[in-house]
Amino acid sequence: MIGVYDSGFGGLSVLRHLHQVLPDRDFVYLGDSGRAPYGGRDIHTILDFSEQAVERLFEEGSRLVIVACHTVSCVALRHLQQRYCGVGSGRRILGVTIPGAEQAVEHSAGHIGILATARTVASGTYLTEIAKLGPHRVLQRAAPLLAPIVEEGLEADPIAELAARHYLAELQGIDTLLLGCTHYPLLIDVLRSLVPRGVTVLDPAPFVAEALLDWLQRHPGFDGGPSEAPSLRVLCTGDPEVFARHGARFLGRPLDRVHHVAEIEGRLAHRAPQDAPTGQVVRP
């Protein structure tokens, strides 16, 4: 079983591509939608949340976790790998930044633009990864309004175009635009309509899927192998019904059932869905 982790719904757009290359594998997806967005959070909060998330996915039975979230991949991937994937652990955690950087460099004639969260931009991780591959110029722009616009399902609303136009104004002269956030592929049509002709807008998700396929060929067994009845189990920390409704847009197909997990004493534990209480809530 392959675990996939994101701050919210956005990683389902990555899972969609993972399903395409590995249709016969079992997947478990964890969206931390109750605590998203991550992009403006401080580093230690992201480390705490990501530790809880990967521990949950390991407890669900995964030995391989894909961190679909760019913010977590940029800030916490090395920490997670060192903490959970030591020699003999039998576990692996992979991120999205290296396939993203490789594709941007492959497509670009020399000037790459990146739209991402504030924390991804501040990390400088994409700059580091791209610099390892070539002498490209890179302009980054934090776009904090875009993920909430997508989480609210407003991709087709004029607000999406207005916000995208605002952020793109600072990425003049680029030939390739890398979407450095799981949510932005849902805005790809808007973004393509706004960039100058000749600028390639890149969703890294298909390349993440290809990179995983390649990695599994070199590291067989971590994914649990093919399944006769491939399953998808979905967990979220927010409202499961809202997650199922919005998540279907990201995954490209309906989500039958979403399980609720919540932080209890520093761990993400399964919780029965509650009736939404009104007024004050007193905990026993």
Residues that bind ligand DGL (CB under 6 A): 6-8, 10, 36-39, 69-71, 117, 120, 147, 181-183
Nearer to ligand DGL, 179 or 199 (CB): 179
Nearer to ligand DGL, 86 or 120 (CB): 120
Residue tagged active-site, from 69, 74, 85, 236: 69
Q: Which residues contact 124 (CB under 8 A, 6 or more apart)?
A: none
**In the complex, least distance from residue 234 CB atom to ligand DGL, rounded to whole angstroms:** 16
Rounded to 5 degrees, what are φ and ψ at 7? -70, -20
Cα–Cα distance measured from residue 109 to residue 171, given in angstroms and rounded to the nearest whole number: 15
Nearer to ligand DGL, 122 or 230 (CB): 122
**In the complex, least distance from residue 68 CB atom to ligand DGL, rounded to whole angstroms:** 7
74 is catalytic: no
Nearer to ligand DGL, 6 or 60 (CB): 6
Cα–Cα distance measured from residue 183 to residue 163, given in angstroms and rounded to the nearest whole number: 14
Got the DSSP string for 134-169?
---EEEEEE-TTHHHHHHTT-TTSHHHHHHHHHHHT
Cα–Cα distance measured from residue 254 to residue 157, given in angstroms and rounded to the nearest whole number: 23
**In the complex, least distance from residue 114 CB atom to ligand DGL, rounded to whole angstroms:** 11
Residue tagged active-site, from 74, 85, 181, 236: 181
> CA nearest 23: which of 222, 223, 189?
223
CA distance from start to end of the chain: 37
Q: Is 221 exposed, middle or buried (0-12, 13-18, 19+ CB in 10 A)?
A: exposed
Rounded to 5 degrees, what are φ and ψ at 177? -115, 115
> CA nearest 3: which of 263, 212, 211, 272?
212
Structure tokens belonging to residue 148: 């909430």
69 is catalytic: yes
Nearer to ligand DGL, 39 or 99 (CB): 39
**In the complex, least distance from residue 70 CB atom to ligand DGL, rounded to whole angstroms:** 4
**In the complex, least distance from residue 272 CB atom to ligand DGL, rounded to whole angstroms:** 26
**In the complex, least distance from residue 261 CB atom to ligand DGL, rounded to whole angstroms:** 17
Nearer to ligand DGL, 8 or 113 (CB): 8
Catalytic residues: 69, 181
